[in-house]
Homo-oligomer: A and B are copies of this chain.
Amino acid sequence: MSDDVFSDPDGTREEILAATYRCLRDEGYADLTINAIGEEFEKSPSLVYRHYDSKDDLVIACLGYMLERFERQLVDEAITDPRGRLERFIEWASSDDIPAERRQFLSTLVELRTRAVYDEAYRCYFTRSDEVFVRYVSDMIQAGIDQGRFQECEPDGVAETLVTLLHGAMNRRPTHEGEAWLGDVRDELEAYLEARVYSDSTEGASESDENDRSQL
Protein backbone atom coordinates (compact mmCIF):
# COMPACT_ATOMS: atom_id res chain seq x y z
CA MET A 1 0.00 0.00 0.00
CA SER A 2 1.53 3.30 -1.04
CA ASP A 3 2.62 5.60 1.77
CA ASP A 4 2.01 8.71 -0.29
CA VAL A 5 -1.62 7.97 -1.09
CA PHE A 6 -2.49 11.43 0.25
CA SER A 7 0.32 13.35 -1.43
CA ASP A 8 -1.98 14.96 -3.97
CA PRO A 9 -5.57 14.97 -2.68
CA ASP A 10 -8.22 15.71 -5.26
CA GLY A 11 -11.41 17.40 -4.08
CA THR A 12 -12.89 18.19 -0.68
CA ARG A 13 -13.45 14.62 0.48
CA GLU A 14 -9.86 13.59 -0.25
CA GLU A 15 -8.52 16.75 1.38
CA ILE A 16 -10.49 16.03 4.56
CA LEU A 17 -9.25 12.43 4.61
CA ALA A 18 -5.68 13.61 3.97
CA ALA A 19 -5.96 15.94 6.98
CA THR A 20 -7.26 13.00 9.05
CA TYR A 21 -4.30 10.89 7.93
CA ARG A 22 -1.78 13.59 8.91
CA CYS A 23 -3.41 14.03 12.33
CA LEU A 24 -3.44 10.27 12.96
CA ARG A 25 0.18 9.96 11.90
CA ASP A 26 1.43 12.92 13.94
CA GLU A 27 -0.76 12.73 17.06
CA GLY A 28 -1.94 9.11 17.31
CA TYR A 29 -5.56 8.16 17.93
CA ALA A 30 -6.15 8.61 21.68
CA ASP A 31 -5.83 12.39 21.86
CA LEU A 32 -7.21 13.06 18.40
CA THR A 33 -10.30 15.28 18.21
CA ILE A 34 -12.56 16.11 15.31
CA ASN A 35 -11.66 19.75 16.08
CA ALA A 36 -7.97 19.06 15.44
CA ILE A 37 -8.84 17.49 12.09
CA GLY A 38 -10.99 20.52 11.26
CA GLU A 39 -8.03 22.78 11.99
CA GLU A 40 -5.67 20.61 9.93
CA PHE A 41 -8.15 20.88 7.05
CA GLU A 42 -7.48 24.58 6.62
CA LYS A 43 -9.96 25.33 3.89
CA SER A 44 -13.09 25.22 6.02
CA PRO A 45 -13.15 23.41 9.37
CA SER A 46 -16.95 23.42 9.47
CA LEU A 47 -17.08 21.28 6.32
CA VAL A 48 -15.59 18.41 8.32
CA TYR A 49 -18.55 18.44 10.72
CA ARG A 50 -20.98 18.63 7.85
CA HIS A 51 -19.64 15.41 6.29
CA TYR A 52 -18.73 13.30 9.32
CA ASP A 53 -20.54 12.72 12.60
CA SER A 54 -17.62 11.67 14.74
CA LYS A 55 -13.89 11.19 14.94
CA ASP A 56 -14.36 7.44 14.40
CA ASP A 57 -16.40 8.02 11.23
CA LEU A 58 -13.52 10.07 9.89
CA VAL A 59 -10.83 7.59 10.92
CA ILE A 60 -12.65 4.65 9.36
CA ALA A 61 -13.35 6.63 6.18
CA CYS A 62 -9.63 7.49 6.01
CA LEU A 63 -8.54 3.85 6.46
CA GLY A 64 -11.18 2.65 4.00
CA TYR A 65 -10.04 5.16 1.40
CA MET A 66 -6.41 3.98 1.68
CA LEU A 67 -7.49 0.36 1.32
CA GLU A 68 -9.66 1.14 -1.72
CA ARG A 69 -6.78 2.93 -3.41
CA PHE A 70 -4.62 -0.15 -2.85
CA GLU A 71 -7.32 -2.44 -4.22
CA ARG A 72 -7.85 -0.28 -7.29
CA GLN A 73 -4.16 -0.61 -8.18
CA LEU A 74 -4.50 -4.39 -8.22
CA VAL A 75 -7.38 -4.67 -10.66
CA ASP A 76 -6.38 -6.08 -14.03
CA GLU A 77 -2.73 -6.03 -13.13
CA ALA A 78 -0.86 -9.05 -14.46
CA ILE A 79 1.47 -10.79 -12.01
CA THR A 80 4.49 -11.30 -14.22
CA ASP A 81 7.03 -11.87 -11.45
CA PRO A 82 5.31 -13.53 -8.47
CA ARG A 83 8.48 -14.17 -6.47
CA GLY A 84 9.82 -10.66 -6.97
CA ARG A 85 6.47 -9.17 -5.98
CA LEU A 86 6.21 -11.39 -2.89
CA GLU A 87 9.74 -10.42 -1.83
CA ARG A 88 8.96 -6.73 -2.22
CA PHE A 89 5.75 -7.10 -0.20
CA ILE A 90 7.69 -8.77 2.63
CA GLU A 91 10.38 -6.08 2.44
CA TRP A 92 7.71 -3.35 2.54
CA ALA A 93 6.01 -4.91 5.57
CA SER A 94 9.10 -5.86 7.57
CA SER A 95 12.05 -3.68 6.57
CA ASP A 96 13.81 -2.06 9.52
CA ASP A 97 14.79 0.87 7.34
CA ILE A 98 11.56 2.85 7.12
CA PRO A 99 10.92 6.59 7.06
CA ALA A 100 10.06 8.19 10.43
CA GLU A 101 6.64 9.33 9.22
CA ARG A 102 5.65 5.82 8.14
CA ARG A 103 6.89 4.44 11.45
CA GLN A 104 4.64 6.93 13.26
CA PHE A 105 1.63 5.90 11.21
CA LEU A 106 2.34 2.20 11.86
CA SER A 107 2.29 2.92 15.61
CA THR A 108 -1.09 4.60 15.21
CA LEU A 109 -2.32 1.54 13.27
CA VAL A 110 -1.50 -0.64 16.30
CA GLU A 111 -3.70 1.65 18.40
CA LEU A 112 -6.50 1.60 15.81
CA ARG A 113 -6.43 -2.18 15.47
CA THR A 114 -7.00 -2.48 19.21
CA ARG A 115 -10.21 -0.44 18.82
CA ALA A 116 -11.52 -3.49 16.94
CA VAL A 117 -11.65 -5.51 20.18
CA TYR A 118 -14.69 -3.54 21.35
CA ASP A 119 -15.88 -1.55 18.32
CA GLU A 120 -17.63 -3.42 15.51
CA ALA A 121 -16.97 -0.77 12.86
CA TYR A 122 -13.22 -1.11 13.37
CA ARG A 123 -13.46 -4.91 13.51
CA CYS A 124 -15.36 -4.86 10.23
CA TYR A 125 -12.69 -2.64 8.63
CA PHE A 126 -9.74 -4.73 9.83
CA THR A 127 -11.43 -7.97 8.78
CA ARG A 128 -11.80 -6.54 5.27
CA SER A 129 -8.25 -5.20 5.30
CA ASP A 130 -6.88 -8.63 6.32
CA GLU A 131 -8.93 -10.23 3.55
CA VAL A 132 -7.53 -7.84 0.94
CA PHE A 133 -3.94 -8.59 1.93
CA VAL A 134 -4.58 -12.34 2.15
CA ARG A 135 -6.08 -12.31 -1.34
CA TYR A 136 -3.19 -10.18 -2.60
CA VAL A 137 -0.64 -12.74 -1.35
CA SER A 138 -2.77 -15.73 -2.30
CA ASP A 139 -3.13 -14.45 -5.89
CA MET A 140 0.66 -14.07 -6.15
CA ILE A 141 1.16 -17.62 -4.97
CA GLN A 142 -1.50 -19.00 -7.29
CA ALA A 143 0.13 -17.14 -10.19
CA GLY A 144 3.49 -18.66 -9.26
CA ILE A 145 1.98 -22.15 -9.23
CA ASP A 146 0.16 -21.56 -12.53
CA GLN A 147 3.41 -20.40 -14.13
CA GLY A 148 5.22 -23.49 -12.84
CA ARG A 149 7.56 -21.32 -10.78
CA PHE A 150 6.15 -22.24 -7.33
CA GLN A 151 5.47 -25.63 -5.76
CA GLU A 152 1.97 -27.03 -5.42
CA CYS A 153 0.98 -25.64 -2.02
CA GLU A 154 -2.07 -24.10 -0.34
CA PRO A 155 -2.15 -20.47 -1.54
CA ASP A 156 -4.75 -19.37 1.03
CA GLY A 157 -3.02 -21.16 3.90
CA VAL A 158 0.37 -19.70 3.03
CA ALA A 159 -1.22 -16.26 2.61
CA GLU A 160 -3.04 -16.38 5.97
CA THR A 161 0.21 -17.43 7.65
CA LEU A 162 2.28 -14.75 5.98
CA VAL A 163 -0.27 -12.04 6.80
CA THR A 164 -0.50 -13.25 10.43
CA LEU A 165 3.30 -13.30 10.80
CA LEU A 166 3.74 -9.84 9.26
CA HIS A 167 0.86 -8.56 11.38
CA GLY A 168 2.63 -9.97 14.45
CA ALA A 169 5.85 -8.23 13.42
CA MET A 170 4.11 -4.90 12.76
CA ASN A 171 2.43 -5.12 16.15
CA ARG A 172 5.58 -6.16 18.02
CA ARG A 173 7.75 -3.39 16.56
CA PRO A 174 6.43 -0.36 18.45
CA THR A 175 5.62 -2.41 21.59
CA HIS A 176 9.04 -4.09 22.09
CA GLU A 177 12.45 -2.49 22.80
CA GLY A 178 14.81 -3.00 19.86
CA GLU A 179 14.36 -4.74 16.51
CA ALA A 180 17.16 -7.33 16.45
CA TRP A 181 14.51 -10.09 16.31
CA LEU A 182 13.14 -8.73 13.00
CA GLY A 183 16.12 -10.00 10.97
CA ASP A 184 15.66 -13.47 12.49
CA VAL A 185 12.01 -13.47 11.47
CA ARG A 186 12.82 -12.41 7.90
CA ASP A 187 15.47 -15.16 7.62
CA GLU A 188 13.09 -17.85 8.88
CA LEU A 189 10.28 -16.59 6.66
CA GLU A 190 12.66 -16.92 3.70
CA ALA A 191 13.55 -20.48 4.79
CA TYR A 192 9.83 -21.33 5.07
CA LEU A 193 9.08 -19.96 1.60
CA GLU A 194 12.07 -21.85 0.14
CA ALA A 195 10.81 -25.08 1.71
CA ARG A 196 7.11 -24.65 1.09
CA VAL A 197 6.52 -22.29 -1.83
CA TYR A 198 9.44 -21.54 -4.15
CA SER A 199 10.58 -24.16 -6.61
CA ASP A 200 14.32 -24.80 -6.93
CA SER A 201 14.17 -23.34 -10.39
CA THR A 202 13.04 -19.95 -9.11
CA GLU A 203 15.93 -19.62 -6.66
CA GLY A 204 17.59 -16.25 -6.95
CA ALA A 205 15.10 -15.11 -9.56
CA SER A 206 13.54 -11.82 -8.72
CA GLU A 207 13.55 -9.74 -11.84
CA SER A 208 11.12 -6.90 -11.42
CA ASP A 209 8.71 -5.22 -13.73
CA GLU A 210 7.39 -1.70 -13.64
CA ASN A 211 3.92 -2.72 -12.51
CA ASP A 212 5.30 -4.53 -9.48
CA ARG A 213 7.59 -1.67 -8.62
CA SER A 214 4.97 1.05 -8.76
CA GLN A 215 2.50 -0.86 -6.70
CA LEU A 216 4.03 -0.67 -3.23
Q: Give A contacts to B, CB under 8 Å.
A: 28, 30, 107, 110-111, 113-114, 116-118, 122-124, 126-127, 130, 134, 154, 156-158, 160-161, 164-169, 171-172, 174-178, 181, 184-185, 187-189, 191-192, 195-196
Once the chains are docked, how many angstroms separate the CA of A156 from the CA of B180? 11
**What residues of chain B lie closer than 8 Å to A172, measured between beta carbons?**
130, 164, 167
Q: How far is the CA of A187 from the CA of B158 in the complex (A)?
A: 9
B-side contacts of A116, CB under 8 Å: 174-176
Q: Which residues of B contact A154 (CB under 8 A)?
A: 184, 187-188
CA gap between A166 and B188 in the complex, in Å: 14
Q: How many copies does the complex hold?
A: 2
Q: Which residues of B contact A165 (CB under 8 A)?
A: 161, 164-165, 168
Q: Does A28 lie within 8 Å of B189, measured CB to CB?
A: no
Q: How far is the CB of A82 from chain B (nearest CB, A)?
A: 18
- Output the residue of A107, A123, A167 with the most chain B CB within 10 A: A167
CB-defined contacts of A111 to chain B, threshold 8 Å: 114, 117
> Besides A116-B174, A130-B181, 7 other CB < 8 A contacts?
A28-B118, A113-B114, A116-B175, A122-B175, A127-B176, A165-B168, A167-B168
